[in-house]
Amino acid sequence: MKSLLWRLAGHLTRGLAMIWAVTTFTFFLIRLMPGDPVQVQYERLIALGMSPEQAESGTAMTYGFVPHGPVWQQYLDYIVGLAHLDLGVSVDSQGIPVADRVFGAMPWTVLLVLSGILVSFLIGVGLGVVAALKRGNVVGHSLSIAGSLLHGVPPFVIGILLTALFTRQWRWFPSGGIYDADLVAPGFYADFMADVAYHTILPASAFALASYGGWLLAMRSSVASVLGDDFLLAAELRGLTRWMRFRYLARNAILPLFTVLAISFGLVFGGAIFIERIFNYPGLGMLLFASIGARDFSMMSGSFLLITAAVIIANILADLLYSVIDPRVRRQT
């Protein structure tokens, strides 16, 4: 128990160090941006007739630091602001805090990505077992080639193909958005949820298709490595049924995949940019993309920070999860 706590402490410090490094990176990124957007904002406020003090505090609202004075002071202000979850104010849509927009977009990305991951995980793991058991023959080989192909193809290819087919060729699904504002108003009732589901099916399946190949390959190699283990032979010699042996095999083979699953929960915040763009889905990736188009640097760094922080947190959770579900790892440390 004590060692687990030590592990947790180590992971947390490492994660915090990483988040700190990323925030430092985004700070200098904004400062070094061509045309110095912070200075531009300050000058625009002056031109609007503000006094230098007002302009300074206005800029500080936007970016979290005052554009003048020593750099370390600016940096300190920025970090202190972030520690209070103050991501600044959007440049493009005036007055709206970045944190509001970012945390408002997050649930939609989570909905899209979570359903996509779960579906692809189930399909990929199932087919991966088949690919490993049949690996000598045509079925196994074509399954793994198809898996590698889908794993290798960039997600936007699948996204474009699905939109072209199912929203234009056959108009089975709506071409974008998350709900039809003319038909339903947001709220917790059946019609609204059904409409959201109807809008989410296509992007989520695009996401699932783009990522199930990875699960298939991982499960295949995991099953293949467990297949040679002695305990399976022992189980066969003891006369255990096929089904029982399969359960032994599956339980051991799926272990390493849970870590990958936990890590992928973090990665997907950023990985859905293409899908969100193609399906016009207002999630985090879309927010990042839109803020870049509008040169909204405070929004850009805010959404980038959240995307990165999610990955780091997911990594820590994955490590901890692994030591909980696999006792062998626990004993090593």
For binding to other proteins (CB under 8 A), which residues are involved? 18, 21-22, 26, 29, 32-34, 135-136, 145, 148-149, 152-154, 156-157, 160-161, 163-164, 167-169, 267, 269-271, 273-274, 277-278, 285, 288-289, 292-293, 295, 300-301, 304, 307-308, 311-312, 315
Dist CA 113 CA 130 (whole Å): 25
If the CB atoms of residues 229 and 240 are measured against other proteins, the closer one turns out to be: 229
Residue with tokens 């230098």, as numbered in its chain: 52
Cβ at position 152, least distance to other proteins in Å: 4
Cβ at position 11, least distance to other proteins in Å: 12
- Cα 179 to Cα 110, 176, 185, 199, 241: the distances in Å are 16, 9, 9, 6, 50
Cβ at position 215, least distance to other proteins in Å: 16
Dist CA 265 CA 270 (whole Å): 10
Look at residues 148, 141, 143, 261 and name the one whose alpha carbon lies nearest to residue 214.
148
If the CB atoms of residues 102 and 267 are measured against other proteins, the closer one turns out to be: 267
Cβ at position 33, least distance to other proteins in Å: 5
Cβ at position 108, least distance to other proteins in Å: 17
Dist CA 154 CA 286 (whole Å): 17
If the CB atoms of residues 122 and 139 are measured against other proteins, the closer one turns out to be: 139
Query: What would the two tokens of residue 174 be?
Result: 């709506």
Cβ at position 114, least distance to other proteins in Å: 17
End-to-end CA distance of the chain: 12
Cβ at position 301, least distance to other proteins in Å: 8
If the CB atoms of residues 62 and 308 are measured against other proteins, the closer one turns out to be: 308
Dist CA 25 CA 19 (whole Å): 10
If the CB atoms of residues 261 and 311 are measured against other proteins, the closer one turns out to be: 311
If the CB atoms of residues 79 and 153 are measured against other proteins, the closer one turns out to be: 153
Cβ at position 104, least distance to other proteins in Å: 18
If the CB atoms of residues 196 and 281 are measured against other proteins, the closer one turns out to be: 281
If the CB atoms of residues 67 and 271 are measured against other proteins, the closer one turns out to be: 271
Cβ at position 17, least distance to other proteins in Å: 9
If the CB atoms of residues 58 and 67 are measured against other proteins, the closer one turns out to be: 67
Dist CA 96 CA 89 (whole Å): 6
